[in-house]
Amino acid sequence: MRTQVGIIGAGPAGLVLAHLLARQGIESIVVENRSREYVEARIRAGILEQETAEMLVDTGVGERLQREGIRHDGIYLQWPGTRHHLDFPALCGRSVWVYGQTEVVKDLITERLGAGLPLYFEVSDTSVRDIDSNRPSIGFTDASGAAQTIACDVIVGADGFHGVSRPAIPDALRTTWQRDYPFSWLGILADVPPSTDDLIYAWHPNGFALHSMRSQKLSRLYLQVDPDENLDDWSDDRIWSELATRFEIDGWTLNEGPVLEKLLAPMRSFVSTPMRHGQLFLAGDAAHIVPATGAKGLNLAVADVRLLAKALTAYYDNGSTALLDAYPETALRNVWRKTHFSWWMTTMMHVHGDEFDQQLQLSQLRYVATSEAAARSLAENYTGLPLDEL
């Protein structure tokens, strides 16, 4: 096979890129080692920055997002005795949308397959070849067991943290930065209407808790737990009781309901450079991981591929490689902004360290609640700084 852009990975990064390129008349082929069912069920965060949501709507894949997504104009920050609301439109003129990453992925797959464009699921033995030449290729075995090669101009590695793309860049050329946080999240999806209009980020001496949602009927809740925690030790009753303790505030109660799913998620920051080697470009989790607090992972993946789509469009329109050459630096500026914000939210909200750390966290929370400048800084990062201002 031959195409212009070979894309490894059918998560948000690979699918959004294929979608944006198709709109510019640029051909691509997407390969994914998981099944369609697996990719469509993969549970991830559910907050879209304003620019992410607008891009999906403006490019014709936002119909269900507009119908089922819920616009949120703020969040609550809580610590014992206080629940403080931040009003995003008043602070920075932007909002966010609650719409699951899983739903974004479903919409993009439906659109691509509906248009008859190539997307191969359940491939194996994927390899990246000749990225130092002008004729790179992707090797893989398709679902029927046949060996395939995609000859292309450019390969985009959007195959996640464990993918084959990043290791294709020689070790000696790569620099990585990593932080493993000393806590994890225990998350549940519950069949109960949310007990709150906006998300609640709660600091509590027992640990962080987050009240999120997926719809008017489904709540999503998280608890900070130890990294070596065992899910079997957490009965539904224990989870609800701990959530009620951490969210406790006068005059408010937490609605309980059947737990549909339970999961543990580690918390890590990771950045790998360069995001380009030869004709291989990395996007999304293949190049970086952010801890979940603040829900930046999907938005960062989308920001990477918006830059790439613009750069590839310029290249195919008039042969200019300027934006492609600039990609590793432009993308990385945004990566570090979101890496910092995710680290900042994570370290402000999770109990760690000693009494001194806790007093600093409480002081920071009170500062965000009382200083408009501090609140605006959180709001503009949470809703997403416009890409072209970075």
**Site residues (CB under 6 A) for ligand DHB?**
45-47, 199, 210, 212, 220, 292-295
Q: Which is nearer to ligand DHB, 45 or 303 (CB)?
A: 45
| Planar angle of CA 144, 4, 31, nearest 5 degrees | 30
Residues contacting residue 387 through CB under 8 Å, at least 6 positions apart? 51, 303, 306, 307, 334
In angstroms, what is the minimal distance from the CB of 292 to ligand DHB?
4
Residue in the shown chain whose Cβ atom is closest to ligand DHB: 212
* SS3 label, residue 271: strand
In angstroms, what is the minimal distance from the CB of 370 to ligand DHB?
22
Instruction: Give Cα separations from 158 to 18, 69, 200 (angstroms).
Output: 11, 25, 32
Bridging pattern class, strands 276-277 and 280-282:
antiparallel
In angstroms, what is the minimal distance from the CB of 66 to ligand DHB?
19
Q: Which is nearer to ligand DHB, 70 or 369 (CB)?
A: 70
Q: Which is nearer to ligand DHB, 105 or 131 (CB)?
A: 105
Q: Which is nearer to ligand DHB, 21 or 349 (CB)?
A: 349
Q: Which is nearer to ligand DHB, 295 or 301 (CB)?
A: 295
Distance CA 258, CA 246 (A): 19
Distance CA 224, CA 154 (A): 41
List the beta strands (DSSP E) in the chain. 5-8, 28-31, 47-49, 70-72, 74-79, 82-87, 96-98, 119-120, 124-129, 137-141, 147-151, 154-157, 175-190, 199-202, 209-213, 219-225, 259-273, 276-277, 280-282, 288-289
Characterise 210 by phi-psi region: left (phi > 0), alpha (psi -120 to 50), beta (else).
beta
Q: Say if residues 248 and 82 touch (Cβ distance below 8 Å).
A: no
Q: Which is nearer to ligand DHB, 52 or 212 (CB)?
A: 212
Q: Which is nearer to ligand DHB, 68 or 142 (CB)?
A: 68
In angstroms, what is the minimal distance from the CB of 13 to ligand DHB?
18
In angstroms, what is the minimal distance from the CB of 125 to ligand DHB?
33
In angstroms, what is the minimal distance from the CB of 141 to ligand DHB?
34
Greatest CA separation for the chain = 66
In angstroms, what is the minimal distance from the CB of 212 to ligand DHB?
3
In angstroms, what is the minimal distance from the CB of 43 to ligand DHB?
8
Q: Which is nearer to ligand DHB, 292 or 335 (CB)?
A: 292
